[in-house]
Chains A and B, each alone.
Chain A
Amino acid sequence: MAPKLPPQHPLEHSTATTAGQAHEHDDHHHYGGPGGIKRWLLTTNHKEIGSLYLIFSLSMFFIGGIFALVVRAELFQPGLQLVQPEFFNQMTTMHGLIMVFGAVMPAFVGLANWMIPLQVGAPDMALPRLNNFSFWLLPVAFGLLLSTLFMPGGAPNFGWTFYAPLSTDYGPPSTTFFIFSLHIAGISSILGAINIIATILNMRAPGMRMMDMPLFVWTWLITAFLLIAVMPVLAGVITMMLMDINFGTSFFDAGGGGDPVLFQHLFWFFGHPEVYIMILPAFGIVSAIVPTFARKPLFGYASMVYATASIAILSFLVWVHHMFVVGLPLAAELFFMYTTMLIAVPTGVKVFNWVTTLFRGSITFETPMLFSLAFIVMFTIGGFSGLMLAIVPADFQYHDTYFVVAHFHYVLVPGAIFAIIAGVYYWLPKWTGHYPDERLGRWHFWLSVIGVNLTFFPMHFSGLAGMPRRIPDYALQFADFNMVSSLGGFLFGASQLLFVAVLIKCVRGGEKAPAKAWEGAEDLEWSVPSPAPLHTFETPPDMTSQAPQRH
């Protein structure tokens, strides 16, 4: 840590002091740093780094999506048509890894970079150079991960959960590269989390109390603490794997006195908080969008904060529900079943608050609102199938079937991904100064909703009928469900091209957006011009005089 870290890029700083506050509103290009590629390599500006994160995440979303489509194409019909089972396993593994660590997590960090300083009235993130470093670790990590596809023996093929001994004893030689890339990606998330915590705790505008913060900031603060708590555990687990593979230790090797089940405990001790890392910021985004388009303040702000914190705490007490079938005493199964079901309570509080915010609201259905409403409905469907999976005796049947695949895709695709897309549509006017194309946005929304449900809803049925996960071939009775799933998958994948079209169109032009782009939007980011100038809140806004926003 450099003790004398300047809050801004030195070159920008000098421009900023001469340009001053007066120029902030009419001059969007008072950038004094290097141009071209160096500008992006060296940038310390939270908005530019936020954009980099979002662009990176979008490209990973498409790469991971192509892997998913390879899987769906193979599963279009029973029998082996397109790929060999070994490659199929690599595709399911890489799809999971890329989507979790490369698409969803960086997208949320990108939104945090863009919006948290704007929402708390800070000029930038607390540690701008660290911010640059944590972004540029990501292309390295995922370049390395993708390069394993071209290595002898192929890419990792043991599923995104990389259970030992599948990954240690039976994994391909590229497993060591996979471990290294995950280490780098983990360091990136950890550094991002440190930065977000430091920003939220120390850089809020004078007079902004913790309970005045927008919920996106709150949910990200809690997410960042989860990251700090569990990413080191992931780093520890993969370090143990590395040592088991290369240095002859036996952490997970029963022959040497280790225990493969220990791997599952350690992995899910990280893994369950990890799935909340991927959903809590989504709650924050939806909690910003729903009140805006219902033109009502959010119902139950404080209960939202406490519900988020409860979910985060409970997430450390439920990990064993991923491993009900490894052989556990009855007491453990009961304990983890009840704690898992307990999570439905704070989650229910959230859904109740969103619905109550909508009640008697003056609702309009712009694209961000459409995605948020779809989020509420379909995330809840995913929550309900989660409750079914929490029931131990039922889980014995559902375990490792497509029912599980349906469950977690409902909470991740129309959950996390829809919330990210909603957030992008919501904040695009602030980023680009133009409204996104509403007509294209609606097409994107409806095709995505139809595609997602066609893909994942039949998986509930094929799972209940007994179709196992991660298998390139299947019995004939699952053929129709799988064909529908595959068609839906290709529809969903193709409709994301519309999203890219909307983004490009919006960056290039479109209807000009005012500072307060949406009628009901009340948070601090809507007080700066659209598009947001490179530097905002160099003089912090005074929140002490403002009427309490939420109470």
Chain B
Amino acid sequence: MTPVQRTVTRTVAALIGMYFFAFALVPLYDVFCQVTGLNGKAANQPRAMSNEGVDTSRYVTVQFITRSSKGLPWELDVMTRQLRVHPGQPTEVEFAFTNKSDSASWGRTVPSVTPSEASLHMRKLTCFCFQEQRIEGGQRVAMPLVFQLTRDLPSEINTVTLVYTLYPVENKDNVSQQVQRTWREGGDA
């Protein structure tokens, strides 16, 4: 191998390595975010209630913001836009999904926690955001979120904002294994 060929082989190897490194960064980023809670990614699985007691000496304001996105004719409302909770206190909040079209469709909500440091301290016992949902045309469905802020929430955090954004999901009506519907049905919109 001539010296030029050796240089070229090494640079091409580095190139290929960097190309795959770029793709490897995608899962690495997810793991990094989950471990550190960066980016406000809360856990996507229900977690058990922690029984460490309620810290009544402290109040934290929890705000809810809901957003629709393109391509899904749904509306998401929260019954309580803002509330004050004690760390450690489990709290239930009702959300209402409305399908404003005539036909049934599938969607899911993606949560985000701000400030992102709070996401590690946000325990969701029940959340509509854990599953994809199917809503009939014109139907209005109420679904609960039960959450608990852990007592070790950093003391400088006084307000936690949860954002839920609606996204469309491909029609899954033909998939035999449907997500089990655990929420309570509401009246028609």
Interface residues of A (CB under 8 A from B): 1, 3, 126-127, 169, 190, 193-194, 197-198, 201-203, 228-233, 235-237, 240, 251, 253-256, 259, 261-262, 265-266, 269, 327-329, 332
Contacts and interface: CB of A to CB of B under 8 A. Distances in A.
B14 A169 contact: no
Interface in B15-39: 15-16, 18-19, 21-23, 25-26, 29-30, 33, 36, 38-39
B29 A236 contact: no
Interface secondary structure of A, over-half rule: helix
Contacts of B33: 259
B7 A202 contact: yes
A194 B110 contact: no
Contact of A327 (B12, B36, B40, B165): B40
Contacts of B40: 327
Nearest to A330: B117
B116 A329 contact: yes
A255 to B, nearest CB: 3
Nearest to A237: B22
B22 A235 contact: yes
Contact of A198 (B4, B19, B41): B4
- B interface: dominant SS: helix
Contact of B4 (A126, A255, A269, A327): A126
B38 to A, nearest CB: 6
Nearest to A270: B22
B169 A327 contact: no
B29 A190 contact: no
Interface string B127-156: 000000000000000000000000000000
A255 B14 contact: no
Given A255-B108, A329-B116, A197 B7 contact: yes
Nearest to B10: A197
Given A190-B15, A254-B110, A259-B29, A201 B7 contact: yes
Given A194-B12, A228-B18, 17 more contacts: A126-B4, A127-B4, A194-B8, A198-B11, A228-B15, A230-B18, A232-B18, A233-B22, A236-B23, A237-B22, A240-B26, A254-B167, A255-B110, A255-B165, A259-B41, A266-B22, A329-B38
B154 to A, nearest CB: 11
Contacts of B187: none
A28 to B, nearest CB: 28
Closest 7 pairs (CB-CB, A-B): A255-B167, A236-B22, A232-B19, A232-B18, A233-B22, A202-B3, A198-B7
Given A327-B39, A327-B115, A235 B19 contact: yes
A64 B78 CA distance: 49
B90 interface: no
A261 B25 CA distance: 13
B69 interface: yes
B70 interface: yes
A236 B39 contact: no
Contacts of B168: 255
Contacts of A169: 70
Nearest to A169: B70
A259 B111 CA distance: 12
A194 B14 CA distance: 11
Contacts of A255: 69, 108, 110, 165, 167-169
Interface string B24-63: 0110011001001011110000000000000000000000
Contact of B19 (A3, A236, A262): A236
Given A169-B70, A233-B18, A327-B39, A194 B11 contact: yes
Given A255-B110, A261-B39, A329-B117, A127 B8 contact: yes
A197 B11 contact: yes
A255 B133 CA distance: 13
A321 to B, nearest CB: 16
B8 A232 contact: no
Nearest to A255: B167
Contacts of A235: 19, 22
Contact of A228 (B11, B23, B114): B11
B116 A266 contact: no
B5 interface: yes
Given A127-B8, A259-B39, A266 B25 contact: yes
Interface string B64-91: 0000011000000000000000000000
A332 B38 CA distance: 10
Contacts of B21: 232-233, 236
A33 B164 CA distance: 67
Nearest to A252: B26
A255 B110 CA distance: 6
Given A255-B110, A327-B115, A3 B5 contact: yes
Contacts of A197: 7, 11
Nearest to B72: A255
Nearest to B117: A329
Contacts of A256: 167
Interface in B155-183: 165, 167-169
A229 B5 contact: no
Nearest to B1: A3
